[in-house]
Structure 1
Amino acid sequence: MLAQILPGKGKEVPVKFFAIFILALVSGLAAGNKTQTAPANEPSPTGPGYTLIDTGAVTITARLKPRRTTKPLTVGDQFWVELAVRHHRNIKVSEPFAESLGSFVILDRNLVTRYQGDTVVNIYELKLAAFAPGERALPLFLTTYPAEGKILAAHSDSIPVKVASVLPEDMKDINDLKPQIPFPNLLPLWLALGLLAAAVLSFVGIRLFRRWRKRRLEPALLPEPWEEALAALEAIPTNEWLSAGKVKRYYYAVSDVLKRYLTRRYSFPAIDQTTSEMRLAMKRKRIAEKADFIGFFQMADMVKYATYVPALPEMEQAAQEARELVNKTTPQPETVPPET
């Protein structure tokens, strides 16, 4: 079998020859790497281009800043770490970094530089958050600087951090998946029918409530003034009150019935007027029975507001006189003349 290596040349090279060429190239590269061995006195590097040391001209320390709450640190909560890098002013150092943040993420950072003689102190405040619960440890933060023709790296200590879970303690895992909805799915149809039924019931209920409230608010039809007055006079217990000596109560009741009758019959506020005021109002209304009404009210005033007590037959006749006054002023039905 032949393979096309260079398109457009028209020459075919056997696949076997191509495989031998690739194998030889890989073998040569492996042999070249074996001949380049590191000197025995050179420290083993911990990263590309720098050597990790424990003590040197540059130091870096890390500490957790106190939190403003006593609640445990949970997944997603923010906390601050302070890094202090100390070095001589003539030494150039890099900004702190970590080879791997693991389960942490840096959200923000601030830098404050201070001087202590020839020593420079760079204070880095890092805002971090954890996205995995459990017993965790902050990564080593490194800062590199040149020394004796090499790049050295100072590192901070690892700080343990406990991150609590936000899930309930009794929750073992996420909820199971819900079963598949059978097809056709009738749930939307049932929801639409339910909403329609609720709308119809609401409409009917509102109509019934408005009708009931309208009937409740409508005032009851009052009887005719003369019918009301005759019924009220009939309901007064004349014999009972007079035998019990309740003379003033009796005259108050009879005169109030007549005042209400005049108020409704002739449309003036007789129920709130004195006898003198009623005389003027009845004169303006040109009521023919004015003298009879005023005479009755004057007699009633003498009993109500003075010490006058009529004889028993006269008192019993008071209710009857009131009935006669009502009957005299009751409108008579119109008579239709006979046809000729």
Structure 2
Amino acid sequence: MYGNSSCGRAQESTTTSSSTSNRPPPLPRCFPRLHVPHDGRCRLYGPPPHLTLHRHLSTPSRLHSWDFAACSVLLLICPLNVFYRPTRYCFLTVIRNIVCSPFYKVLMVDFFMADQLTSQIPLLRHMESAACYFLAGSFKTHRYETCKSGKQYRELAYVISFAPYYWRAMQCARRWFDECNIDHLANLGKYVSAMVAAGARLTYARQPSQLWLVIVLVTSFVATVYQLYWDFVKDWGVLNRKSKNAWLRDDLVLKNKGIYYGSIALNFVLRVAWVETVMKFNIGMVESRLLDFFLASLEVIRRGHWNYYRLENEHLNNVGKFRAVKTVPLPFHETNSGR
């Protein structure tokens, strides 16, 4: 019996040594490992924390992003005559005129740029988050409560959401003061309604309730109808029943009228895209943040689409105060030639 057992142990030792010699070398510690415990459930374990790529690259990559933003600002205000200084300074002048709207005479470039800012509110909100991320030191501490639920951060969201509409409203007030045209006061009301709707949406996001949902739907509906009317009738000059081009305007640049009708429908659809941000429809497996990014991109596309017809209408109806004539008088005196 003992002989058989010793022979068995010798055979087992030989088998173990041969299997060990044929076993592949162990993976380095930085590779994930598959662990099968006694319960039969497979678990995949990653590398140790001190060997992860995130630990080594997180802080430098974030610092590089901060350096890039700082260099962009310094380049924008650089006084040297490099990198298109006239264009950069013209842009800064327009931004100054927008921020200080009531104190500067409003030109077309000023209110046209301010209109673009009203479509960039999601971008401004993300810039707020990025600034808070760096200034609060979240990239070092990995504590993100300050930039998500902090009181000052949430209150600043109202300021950023209101600012573009407020600047545009102040431009309308200044134009009414200079020109005494009642249309500018009506346009001011449009931006006030947009501010009320934006404030209601932010409050509903913080305090979701049935009452605030009703307030959001009512204020957003009023603001949307106001904006659609101004887009089509005032800015684009279409929906004219007496026009020789049905429901458009008399003068058109594009020969295909179907493009105008399609543009009207597209602008209408993109104007009411806010319904999804309030109702939060379940669209398959699409993540909410990805859907918000998609809707923000659509608003930028809508604004670019709006720009073409706005400039077309301005061009065809002549700029300034000479909208009733086809030629703009020049500041020159006619003189007879030598004849």
Q: Which has the higher contact order (CA 8 A, sep 6+)?
A: 1
TM-score (structure 2 length as normaliser): 0.22
Structure number with the higher strand fraction is: 1
Q: Please tell me whether Structure 1 or Structure 2 has the larger radius of gyration of its CA atoms.
A: 1
Normalization by structure 1: what TM-score?
A: 0.22
